[in-house]
């Protein structure tokens, strides 16, 4: 019924993940049934699990959330399956994993309209279908799928070689690393994406911070203004810094706010002119409160940032020019 070539060496994926691509070799005039494609996907997943575990026997079972697992002997392996047309891809790993495949020539113009400003920019260097597959793969790895909306999954960064992207679950504030690759499928091409939970590295976080927008207001005011405009209006520079914990391992909001209160007191030891300053993502799905210490030098700002475990600060020159300094 099906040919199951092992394309692990062709697909770009992290170590510890096995992938098998299958093709349902039927008469082109006859469309493949849903049941047949599901069985093809299960065949691919079984073969990937056998390769990963080294065991020839085992059974596919499903978690309470519907996520497929393969159990053979003492091994429990995570499985994910995707199919499009007459092709199916099964992946196996010792950790949660998600996969998605789609024909690259699929018309996704309607879905691209939902992209965030960051995703719109990334789509200039990464095929939009790859970003959409990355969202789907991340959702599968989380065990919830797209959860009713592709906007829950935000692509926020990609690797220098564009072989992987970083996806954030806006609702849960979790992150996934998604490897993307293209496989030739007859006279067409398949976009593949495979995801696993990830903690953003320092370079990823710095890139995210670099894209952040900043708004400011005097403490006690209810009116925010854009950071550069505020600096130019006062013709005075300073340091923007937060005490909120960077990265995915975030404490509660109460703990972060308590840390920010300590930061305000620390800044007050060196500066009497302090405003509130919030940094937020371009898609406005994430916002972190902080402070603008007017007239503070970047050297002192970096020293305080290190005391509070921060990765970077923003320094505004009096002209309004913004510079990010890594701590």
What does the pLDDT look like over 62-116, one tens digit per residue? 766 666 777 766 667 888 999 998 899 999 998 889 999 999 999 988 988 888 8
Q: What is the pLDDT of residue 11?
A: 54
If DSSP states are collapsed to H, E and C, what string results for the chain?
CEECCCCCCCCCCCCCEEEEEEEECCCCCCCCCHHHHHHHHHHHHHHHHHHHHCCCCCEEEECCCCCEEEEECCEEEEEEEEEECCEEEEEEECCCCEEEEEECCCCCHHHHCCCCHHHHHHCCCCCHHHHHHHHHHHHHHHCCCCCCCHHHEEEEEECCCCCEEEEEECCCCEEEEEEEEEEEECCEEEEEEEEEECCCCHHHHHHHHHCCEEEEEECCCCCCEEHHHHHHHHCCCEEEECCCCCCCCCCCHHHHHHHHHHHHHHHHCCCCCEEEEEEECCCCCCEEEEEEEECCCHHHHHHHHHHCCCCEEEEECCCCCEEEEEC
Q: What is the pLDDT of residue 63?
A: 66
Mean pLDDT by 10-residue block, N- to C-terminus, for the chain (327 residues)?
Answer: 44 75 67 78 85 75 68 77 90 90 92 84 88 93 76 80 80 85 86 86 70 92 95 96 69 78 94 94 78 96 90 93 89
What is the rounded distance in angstroms from the CA atom of residue 147 to the CA atom of residue 15? 28
Q: What is the pLDDT of residue 32?
A: 59
- 8 A C-beta contact, residue 153 and residue 115: no
- 8 A C-beta contact, residue 7 and residue 20: yes
- 8 A C-beta contact, residue 60 and residue 107: no
Neighbours of 8 (CB within 10 A): 16
Tokens 């299958």 correspond to: 22
- Tokens representing 223 are 């009116």
Rounded to two decimals, what is the model's pTM?
0.66
Q: Where are the domains of the chain?
A: 2-198, 206-326
What does the pLDDT look like over 123-135, one tens digit per residue? 888 899 999 999 9
Closest to 106 in 3D by CA, of 12, 189, 196, 221: 189
One of 2.102.10.10, 1.10.10.60, 1.20.1050.10, 3.90.470.20 is the CATH number of 2-198, namely 3.90.470.20
Q: What is the pLDDT of residue 281?
A: 77
What is the rounded distance in angstroms from the CA atom of residue 201 to the CA atom of residue 180? 18
Strand order from edge to edge, sheet including 213-218: 225-226, 213-218, 274-280, 287-294, 238-241, 312-316, 322-326
């Amino acid at each position: 019924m099906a040919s199951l070539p092992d394309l692990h060496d062709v697909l770009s994926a992290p170590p510890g993940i096995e992938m098998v691509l299958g093709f349902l070799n039927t008469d082109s005039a006859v469309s493949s049934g849903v049941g047949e494609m599901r069985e093809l996907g299960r065949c691919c997943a079984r073969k990937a699990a056998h390769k990963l575990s080294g065991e020839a026997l085992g059974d596919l079972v499903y978690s309470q959330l519907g996520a497929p697992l393969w159990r053979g002997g003492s091994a429990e392996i995570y499985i994910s399956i995707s199919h499009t047309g007459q092709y199916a891809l099964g992946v196996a790993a010792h950790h949660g994993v998600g996969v998605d495949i789609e024909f690259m020539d699929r018309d996704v113009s309607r879905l691209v309209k939902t992209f965030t400003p960051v995703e719109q920019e990334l789509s200039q260097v990464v095929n939009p279908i790859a970003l959409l597959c990355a969202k789907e793969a991340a959702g599968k790895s989380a065990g919830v799928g797209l959860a009713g909306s592709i906007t829950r999954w935000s692509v926020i960064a990609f690797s220098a070689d564009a072989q992987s992207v970083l996806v954030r679950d806006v609702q849960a504030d979790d992150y996934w690393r998604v490897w993307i690759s293209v496989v030739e499928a007859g006279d067409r091409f398949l976009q593949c994406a495979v995801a696993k939970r990830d903690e953003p590295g320092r370079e990823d976080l710095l890139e995210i911070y670099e894209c952040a927008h900043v708004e400011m207001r005097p403490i006690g005011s209810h009116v925010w203004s854009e950071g550069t405009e505020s600096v130019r209006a006062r013709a005075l520079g300073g340091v923007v810094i937060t005490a909120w914990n960077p990265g995915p391992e975030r404490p509660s909001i109460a703990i972060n706010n308590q840390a920010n209160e300590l930061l305000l007191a620390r800044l007050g030891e060196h500066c009497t002119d302090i405003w509130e300053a919030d940094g937020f993502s371009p898609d406005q799905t994430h916002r972190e409160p902080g402070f603008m210490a007017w007239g503070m030098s970047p050297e002192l700002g970096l020293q305080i940032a290190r005391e509070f475990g921060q990765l970077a600060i923003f320094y505004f020159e009096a002209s309004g020019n913004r510079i990010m300094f890594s701590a």
